[in-house]
Amino acid sequence: MMVLGTSMTTATGVAVLLACLSGILLYVVARAVGVSAWAAWIGVLTWTLVPASVFTGAATVPELPTSALCASAILLLRRTDLRSAWLAAGLVLPATLSRYEAWPVAIVLMVANTVVGVRERTMRCVAQRIGPVALACAGPVVWILWNHHAHGNALSFHVRVSNYWFLSGGGSQGVWADLRAFVEPLMADGLVLLLVALVAVIGRWGNLRLWRDWMVPGLSCVFLVAALLVAQRGGGAPTHHPERSMLAVWAVGWIAVCDLLPWQVISSHRVFTTGRVVLLVVIATGLSTARLGRLARSYGVNRPDELVVGDWLRNRSEGSVWLAPRDYGYFAILAAMQSGDRVTLAASVEPQDRGTPSPFDREDWLRRRVCEGAFRWLVAQSDRGLMAKRVGDVRLETGAWVVVEVRESDAVHCERSDSLRR
């Protein structure tokens, strides 16, 4: 995006490209650690059909590539050589810099490398593992140091999200209610994976080698889930989108289950004729599509009016913009504008700030603040939009939004008032 620009079209294109590369990365890593081509392909394909994968893969958010990076790093734990350790750490670094639900994976790599180094019982091997451990942990360390520098609080990101969670009702229903809020959205995906895993367990019960190969990635996923449960209870910062935070677990889970399934037994059984397999695929695809359609109605919010406002401001306005938001939808305006540095918010939409008086509530307040801030454009919704119309000329109305240009006479009046004060 630094090369091609920050338009919504570019952002969407980058998101789709990263989604495609995420699946390719998982397949390549799965093959590199010994998973058969058929099992790797089916596992990755099934993971891409998990609703959260579909939604985040089409959206301009980093969760899908982040989960693919984390899952690939966990898959590499099937191997203990130093090259795989460096590769896993290199994959985790951009993941931990993007999302903090990836941080437990850095801890997993740190523990795994430490265990391997200690098991070799040589200082040389231990020293060799220091590099991958440092690289894996660099993301969280840099993030925390930057927050301390920029905000004066090393954990400001956690405080902000946790405050929102608590003020929105989180933590008020008790321990089990909090844990249920994390687990319930995952039940459908978890139950499907569990049923297929039971088939794998029955079919591969005596094959200890396969189970041993998946022991470390399996324990890593258990630790990741446990860490997310602790985080849920501690403020919900990494788990406020539980279905997204579990994408890495689903990726490892589906690849592992597909690797453990007794494909030869399944293909040789008379029950699984070609016609019946095709029928099962059609039924599974139909059920997945129906589930996606049902969840899509309540997943995310469409912001066409905000995009229109942002696009209009980008192409037809110059100077500072004073924006009175009603909710977090104003981010769509900033994204469409591609120049968010021109925008000043008139009020906060954080839960702790709800009910705080806004300059758009009274005309005299609004005029005074317009003068003080030398704003050229006012952007507001509903009642605040009606107030904005009193101090400027309407240039755009779409949905509940209105864009107002401050009148030239008012701007001159502000300049004269400022000169008199001096």
Task: Give the pLDDT score at 412.
Answer: 46
Cross-strand pairs, 220: none
Residue 420 pLDDT > 50: no
Do 24 and 68 form a contact (C-beta atoms < 8 A)?
Answer: no
CB 310 within 8 A of CB 337: yes
Q: What is the mean pLDDT of residues 365-386?
A: 86
According to DSSP, the residues that pair with 323 across neighbouring strands are 345, 379
Distance CA 326, CA 323 (A): 10
Structural contact between residues 88 and 75, judged by C-beta atoms closer than 8 angstroms: no
Query: How many angstroms separate the CA atoms of 59 and 219, rounded?
Result: 31
* Structure token pair of residue 143: 């993030």
* Residue 224 predicted with pLDDT over 90: yes
Residue type (1 letter), 53:
S
What is the 8-class DSSP label of residue 407? P
- Residue pair 323/333 in contact (Cβ under 8 Å)? The answer is yes
CB 63 within 8 A of CB 50: no
CATH number of 304-421: 3.40.190
Phi, psi of 107 (to 5 degrees): -65, -40
pLDDT for the residue numbered 277: 61
pLDDT of residue 416: 47
Q: Tens digits of per-residue pLDDT, 293-351?
A: 777 776 767 888 999 999 999 999 888 899 998 888 899 899 899 877 889 888 888 77
**So where are the chain's domains?**
8-269, 304-421
Token look-up 């690849």 returns 255
231 vs 20, higher pLDDT: 20
**pLDDT for the residue numbered 241:** 79
Give yes or no for a contact between 64 and 247, defined as CB atoms under 8 angstroms apart.
yes
Q: What are the tens digits of pLDDT across the range 17-29?
A: 999 999 999 999 9
Sign of CA dihedral 88, 93, 96, 99: negative
Q: Residues 48, 247: contact at Cβ < 8 Å?
A: no
Q: How many angstroms separate the Cα of 62 from the Cα of each of 69, 329, 417? A: 11, 18, 48
Name the most confidently modeled range: 251-255, 329-333, 416-420.
251-255
- Give dist(CA 198, CA 214) in Å, integer: 15
